[in-house]
Chains A and B, each alone.
Chain A
């Protein structure tokens, strides 16, 4: 996998055209005690592609993202990022890979003792020590402007709404200019207007930055809006993967039921 990725890069192919996956998950399994959450999942995402992972609550969608960014370790299977198997990597080595990844947590996970601006500058302060204070401040203002939160610089996370927190979380995830964006339920718990705004924001960012994105959601409308391809999980396995039309044409009972109920 690493070789395929390197060859594609050396040949100078436009990255969007390269078929070498940036994120490749193979036969991933994860259990908690006797409860099996993921039962051999294989997925891959290339540059500029957005994959939406759908499924019922508790089917391991969020766990999948946590395994991809190595916040948890799989029981078996592999996760390759930029062709590098991340299993067993030391924390600092994994940190180098994470600098190219952005993660939006389901509940935003903003640092509650820091202001909005401090939350966004946090990754820059620790990973971009070459930047001066004013350069960092400019970058924070630019990021917050991109997500429409430039007026909330000095506010604490507790003073802004859930949708705003997600926007700030997104700005923080984008601070290091990631090549991979992982979004955990970006529209969960938001009203339809806020959801639409977040979807538009994600679409705009993807258009401008050409990131490889994986979006975990149970919101079919959101998935259809922002993703190039969809993967539907059930009982820890991928039931179907493809475009929305592929799901619509599927004869699999669970797929039909999921589409009907969504």
Chain B
């Protein structure tokens, strides 16, 4: 068990190094990168925005109730803004993309592996680490902060809307109060930390996909492992990154 654990990490490290080396050396696979940016970014956008909207409504209801109990209703905008942007937006986007893009990448590459399509790519003198893995991982890294911004915007909009239905509050006033006294340090690090989530999701999904064995069962296993492990490591990374941000971007 312990051996498997260390072997998995060792192989992941070797895989990462191969992808890193391949990704940095030409020829660069721009077309595939653009295709993956669309696949990971544009196609995840509706899901992320919808989930962000739901989270905004829930947070709005919970915050209003809790703050009312303590006579701190005036803190509602700032509570909602900080909750969405610093906490819920990034981690929720990480988990949604782990589920959607992680499973997609894991299953796609696993299917290609078991049908020898990845071998065919390699036999055609094309580096599969560059073509398949580097492009997907980079797409995840680049799209995660953008998707997080979309989730944040969606959450804030629906959170404000839910509040307005109960107690009218102009959007201008909501934004003004919510971001009052805020610095870039309060919002940029939590948003850009999601690039690390992107690295984790892309790396684990590509690794699990490209090392698959065993037909349809193997493909299923790769998809499941991609989602479960990427989600788990995103949450674990969040713990470390939150501490890191609190120390270096107080």
Contacts and interface: CB of A to CB of B under 8 A. Distances in A.
B124 A71 contact: no
Given A103-B120, A109-B120, A127 B126 contact: yes
A162 to B, nearest CB: 14
A126 B120 contact: no
B119 A71 contact: yes
Nearest to B22: A91
A69 interface: yes
B27 interface: yes
Contact of B129 (A91, A109, A122, A129): A91
Contact of B115 (A95, A98, A101, A107): A107
B74 interface: no
B176 interface: no
B117 interface: yes
Interface in A67-111: 69, 71, 91-92, 95-96, 98-99, 101, 103, 105, 107, 109-111
A111 B113 CA distance: 11
Contacts of B119: 66, 71, 105, 109
B116 interface: yes
Contact of B124 (A91, A107, A123): A123
A236 to B, nearest CB: 22
A107 B116 contact: yes
A127 B27 CA distance: 9
B117 A111 contact: yes
Contacts of A129: 27
A103 B27 contact: no
B123 A101 contact: yes
Interface in B98-145: 112, 115-117, 119-120, 122-127, 129, 131
A99 B123 CA distance: 8
B124 A176 contact: yes
Contacts of B120: 103, 105, 109-111, 172
Nearest to B108: A113
B204 to A, nearest CB: 21
A91 B131 CA distance: 13
A99 B125 contact: yes
Contacts of A110: 117, 120
Most buried by A among B122, B123, B126: B123
A158 to B, nearest CB: 12
Contacts of A99: 125
A98 B116 contact: no
Nearest to B128: A91
B25 interface: yes
A92 B123 CA distance: 12
A87 to B, nearest CB: 16
Contacts of A122: 124, 126
A112 interface: yes
B121 to A, nearest CB: 8
Contacts of A111: 112, 117, 120
A128 to B, nearest CB: 10
A91 B117 contact: no
A91 B127 contact: yes
A123 B116 contact: no
B117 A176 contact: no
B209 to A, nearest CB: 15
Contacts of B18: 91
A98 B27 contact: no
Sorted from nearest, which 10 A-B pairs have the closest CB atoms?
Answer: A109-B116, A98-B125, A123-B124, A103-B123, A109-B120, A95-B125, A99-B125, A126-B126, A71-B119, A91-B127
Given A98-B122, A103-B123, 20 more contacts: A66-B119, A95-B126, A101-B123, A103-B120, A105-B123, A107-B115, A107-B116, A109-B115, A109-B116, A109-B120, A111-B117, A111-B120, A112-B115, A122-B124, A123-B125, A126-B125, A127-B124, A172-B124, A175-B124, A176-B125
Interface of A: 66, 69, 71, 91-92, 95-96, 98-99, 101, 103, 105, 107, 109-112, 122-123, 126-127, 129, 172, 175-176
13 contacts: A69-B123, A71-B123, A91-B22, A91-B127, A95-B125, A98-B124, A103-B120, A105-B116, A109-B116, A110-B120, A111-B117, A126-B131, A172-B120
Interface of B: 18, 22, 25, 27, 112, 115-117, 119-120, 122-127, 129, 131
